[in-house]
Structure 1
Amino acid sequence: MLLKLRNSNLLSIVLGARGTFLICFILLSCYLLYSVLAYTFLIPTGNFLGDIPSVLRGEFWRIITSTVYHYEWEHLLKNMLAIIVLGPFIEWKTGSFALVTSFFLSSWIGVLLFSFGFGGFIQSTFGIGTYIYSFYGASMSVYGLFPMAIIALLIKKPAFSLMTKFVLLGSFLYYFIVGFWPNPDASDTEVVVQIAHSCGVLAGLLCVLIILILRNRKKIFSYMS
């Protein structure tokens, strides 16, 4: 622990990001697995995708398969880049287990919130065509990292170096602005995608709350008693 406190520099944080690299490995492995299943065994890719009607019907397995499925290589690389940029800082403060668990929970909880919380609104506002639109990829998990990045800045120990703080804050602002910058010319599908990303942020907030409760459980229990 003392060594960790002394070496809270950018290089140490990146080299110690085992959980971050595990997430990237899982996503890359799933991409290769799905490619084999689709192009070698000719399994329809629709079996891996998620959509609001399917989730509402109880096909909850789609929550897991869709959130680790990337149809385009570029989509996977874009998500992995965000994970590599934000993940190590979060992992340094919260730990590998908390990062990996929160990453995947953000997608699963986000899909449930998106389907059950906003499904009716999407159908009535944008029509049946957008309502049945398929979703896939780990973007909800990536946006779930935003609240995690904030908690990484707020947790005091182990302290970040000044350069590390600048890198984390700059990366956070870049991805947040790119993802949520208002666009009056956005299509219905793009608006729905932003709603889905917002669900990822809300799910990330829930994970942050759970992490804070677990980190301070002794204080909470002593206060309640």
Structure 2
Amino acid sequence: MDVSTPEAAAAHFAQRPDAELLYLARHASRYPPAVGAAAVAELQRRGLVPEAPLAPPPTPEAPAEPDETWAQVLLPVLRGLFWPTRQCWAVPVLIDLNLLVWLAMTWSGVSATAPTGHELARWGSNVTGLTWPGQPWRLVTSLFVHGGVAHLLLNMASLWLLGVLLEARTGGARLLAAYLASGVAASAATLWYHSGGINSTGASGAIFGLYGLLLMLLLSKKIVLDKWDRRGMLGLVLYLVLSNLVSGLTGNIDNIAHLGGLLMGLLVAVPIQLSMQRS
């Protein structure tokens, strides 16, 4: 058997029967490497065994994406917070109005952190003896007046987190209607309850109305979530509502306004759900 060169090996095995070639290929470890290789090559030429597939070309590695900077992450969030878009316009408009009122108050000389009751009343707070019956517009304007920057930022953070979630599902017009209706109800409730006199400000009553709306949408399954996500969100909303009401028992917080807004939010959820079904 002459296998000294590839040509000689090929010529030799070209004359051998299939059975012998198959035997040599199966027991190639018993023979010199050239014998097994030549037997396999001849079997492949005869089409009795498949040829070894070509190795696929190496896949070029995708260039590593550069890490996002804090500015690339923060700027879209700030744009969504203050700049209205077609998908989310009501929440940024409400936040901008609240900020503009606070900036105007501060620019006019009102304390940025602790305005006086007289200054708040001058800018439209909800005041017993003024709001009803002579100046009912205070039921609305008081929603945009805050007793300092801390009060403002706390309410705007709640409005943004809650409002963006709701507006994506209800639409801006429905959210705005629920917000204003709940805010007016909260202002009216606090006037009714504090018959001895009150000077109230802030958006928290309207925000509690959004809590009520969200609760009704979750309970009626208008927000599409799986069972566990729904339970988790319900638990979170109930915790936030109850924790705010409990904190109102110990601080200078008007829980009557919160309850009035919450009740109105639960009530307006019914027509909002009906309009969502028709759209």
TM-score using structure 1 length? 0.69
Kept in 2, the 8 Å contact 1:90–1:152? The answer is no
Paired residue secondary structure (1:60) = coil
Gaps of 5+ in 1: 1-10, 124-130, 219-225
Q: How many angstroms does 1:172 deviate by?
A: 1.2
Q: Residues 52-71 of structure 1: matches in 2 within 5 Å?
A: 52-71=128-147
Q: How many residues align?
A: 189
Give, as a single letter, the amino acid of the residue that structure 2 aligns with 1:169: L
Gaps of 5+ in 2: 1-76, 112-117
> Residues 162, 200 of structure 1: CA spacing in aligned structure 2 closer, same or farther, 3 A cutoff?
same
Q: How many angstroms does 1:93 deviate by?
A: 1.9
TM-score using structure 2 length? 0.57
Kept in 1, the 8 Å contact 2:120–2:145? The answer is no
Give, as a single letter, the amino acid of the residue that structure 2 aligns with 1:139: S
Kept in 2, the 8 Å contact 1:69–1:137? The answer is yes
Is 1:169–2:258 an aligned residue pair? Answer: no
List per-residue Cα deviations over 1:3-24 (Å, max 9, x = no partner).
xxxxxxxx9xx99544322322
Is 1:21–2:92 an aligned residue pair? Answer: yes
List per-residue Cα deviations over 1:119-177 (Å, max 9, x = no partner).
4xx34xxxxxxx22210010111111111111332454662467864774354133212
List per-residue Cα deviations over 1:176-221 (Å, max 9, x = no partner).
12122388x747x65xx11121111122123213313434569xxx
Give, as a single letter, the amino acid of the residue that structure 1 aligns with 2:208: Y
Question: What's 1:128 paired with?
Answer: none
Q: How many angstroms does 1:81 deviate by?
A: 1.4
> Residues 166, 154 of structure 1: CA spacing in aligned structure 2 closer, same or farther, 3 A cutoff?
closer
Q: How many angstroms does 1:74 deviate by?
A: 0.6
> Residues 216, 59 of structure 1: CA spacing in aligned structure 2 closer, same or farther, 3 A cutoff?
same
Kept in 2, the 8 Å contact 1:114–1:196? The answer is yes
Give, as a single letter, the amino acid of the residue that structure 2 aligns with 1:36: W
> Greater relative contact order: 1 or 2 (C-alpha under 8 angstroms, separation 6 or more)?
1
Q: In angstroms, what is the RMSD of aligned CA positions?
A: 3.4
Give, as a single letter, the amino acid of the residue that structure 2 aligns with 1:45: L
Question: What's 1:223 paired with?
Answer: none
Paired residue secondary structure (1:181) = helix
> Residues 155, 34 of structure 1: CA spacing in aligned structure 2 closer, same or farther, 3 A cutoff?
farther
Kept in 2, the 8 Å contact 1:153–1:165? The answer is yes
Kept in 2, the 8 Å contact 1:31–1:70? The answer is yes
Question: What's 2:203 paired with?
Answer: 138
> Residues 148, 60 of structure 1: CA spacing in aligned structure 2 closer, same or farther, 3 A cutoff?
same
**Counterpart selection for 1:200 from 238, 242, 261:** 261
Paired residue secondary structure (1:77) = helix
Kept in 2, the 8 Å contact 1:17–1:87? The answer is no
Kept in 1, the 8 Å contact 2:126–2:142? The answer is yes
Kept in 2, the 8 Å contact 1:86–1:168? The answer is no
Question: What's 2:167 paired with?
Answer: 91
Question: What's 2:245 paired with?
Answer: 180
Kept in 2, the 8 Å contact 1:30–1:68? The answer is yes
